[in-house]
Amino acid sequence: MDHPSPAPVPTPLTAPYWEACRRGELALQRCAGCGRFVHFPEPACPFCGNAELTFERVGGRGTVHTFTVVHRSFLPGFTTPYTVAWIDLPEGARVFGDITGCPPGRVRIGMPVEVHFTDLDGFGPLPHWRPTP
């Protein structure tokens, strides 16, 4: 039996992230105190403790820092195998996401990737990462 993929549940903290996705943009929190990007969204900067974090658009290109291939999903709606990775962005942030458009066996540390968005029925655009052409 096919199950739909689970949809994210936006909160006041994450709503600006999802609004940017709806515009086809990747936006991360940036700390007004130390200037560092923060991902996943936090109520305060994990680096300096400042609570003034605003969302800022980032370029959407990066390189695979590390990854894993999931062969047994514990949630309905995910077709295995799939690859999830930490992506290093040139802006200095590290973001988490899945790698699409590339067989799991071809993903490599250091591989250049770019963000792209696909619509999840009933939710809207979700960010994914694919190898750059």
d(CA 13, CA 32): 16
User: Is it the case that residue 71 has pLDDT exceeding 70?
Assistant: yes
pLDDT digits (tens, 9 = 90+) for 82-111: 999 999 999 999 999 999 999 999 999 999
Per-residue confidence (pLDDT) for residue 2, from 0 to 100? 52
User: Is it the case that residue 74 has pLDDT exceeding 90?
Assistant: no
User: Is it the case that residue 118 has pLDDT exceeding 50?
Assistant: yes
Mean pLDDT throughout 4-28? Answer: 94
Mean pLDDT throughout 9-27? Answer: 97
Confidence of residue 3 (pLDDT cuts 50, 70, 90): low
DSSP string, 63-97: EEEEEEEESS-SSTT-PSSEEEEEEE-TTS-EEEE
Per-residue confidence (pLDDT) for residue 33, from 0 to 100? 97
Residue 95 is encoded by which pair of tokens?
A: 């973001």
User: Is it the case that residue 1 has pLDDT exceeding 90?
Assistant: no
Residue 120 is encoded by which pair of tokens?
A: 């999840």
Rg from Cα positions in the chain: 15
Per-residue confidence (pLDDT) for residue 80, from 0 to 100? 93
* Percent of the chain predicted with pLDDT > 70: 97
